């Protein structure tokens, strides 16, 4: 396997990001001021939908065929690729997205033309 290297900032730091329950004790002072104490993080209670791997430095998520990496199996597939293969994959994904955006634009323009034709 190869090291993680962020394609945006070049960092080798990888972090797993998840959204967990965070609770704080609320104390209402006699002055009416509301204060928060004792932050309690329950990392066993997490939202499964938003867990993903991101660069620990700039926060950019590495992408596997255009998708965010959310589990270890996908991460291993990603790490098996050389840096060159990853750059190629990212370029292909960008090209595909560009093509999709272009064909969507053409479709919208075609619709517009059809609407104009009917008038």
Site stretch for Zn ion (CB under 5 A), options 9-17, 27-35, 61-69, 105-113: 9-17
Minimum distance, C-beta of residue 63 to Zn ion, in the bound complex (Å): 13
- Measured from the CB atom, the residue of 60 and 80 that comes closer to Zn ion is 60
48 contacts 85 by C-beta, under 8 angstroms: no
The answer to the question of residue 15 lying near Zn ion (CB under 5 A) is: no
Say how many C-beta atoms besides its own lie within 10 A of residue 89's C-beta: 17
77 contacts 64 by C-beta, under 8 angstroms: yes
Residue at token pair 């972090």? 15
For every residue of 90-112, DSSP letters joined together read HHHHHHHHHHHHHHHHHHHHHHH
Write out the E strands in 1-118.
Answer: 14-28, 34-55, 63-64, 67-68
Q: For residues 41-80, which are near Zn ion according to CB under 5 A?
A: 55, 57-58, 60
- Measured from the CB atom, the residue of 12 and 111 that comes closer to Zn ion is 12
The answer to the question of residue 22 lying near Zn ion (CB under 5 A) is: no
Minimum distance, C-beta of residue 23 to Zn ion, in the bound complex (Å): 31
The site for Zn ion, by CB under 5 A, has a size of 8
Binding site for Zn ion (CB under 5 A): 6, 8-9, 11, 55, 57-58, 60
């Amino acid at each position: 396997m190869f090291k993680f290297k962020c394609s945006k900032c070049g960092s080798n730091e990888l972090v797993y990001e998840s959204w967990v329950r965070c609770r704080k004790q609320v104390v209402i002072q006699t002055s009416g001021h509301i204060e928060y104490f004792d932050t309690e993080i329950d990392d066993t209670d997490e939202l499964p939908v938003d867990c993903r791997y991101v660069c620990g430095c700039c926060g950019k998520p590495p992408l596997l065929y255009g998708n965010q990496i959310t589990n270890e199996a996908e991460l291993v597939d990603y790490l098996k690729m050389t840096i060159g293969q990853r750059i190629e994959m990212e370029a292909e994904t960008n090209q595909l997205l560009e093509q999709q955006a272009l064909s969507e634009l053409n479709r919208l323009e075609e619709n517009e033309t059809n609407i104009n034709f009917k008038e």
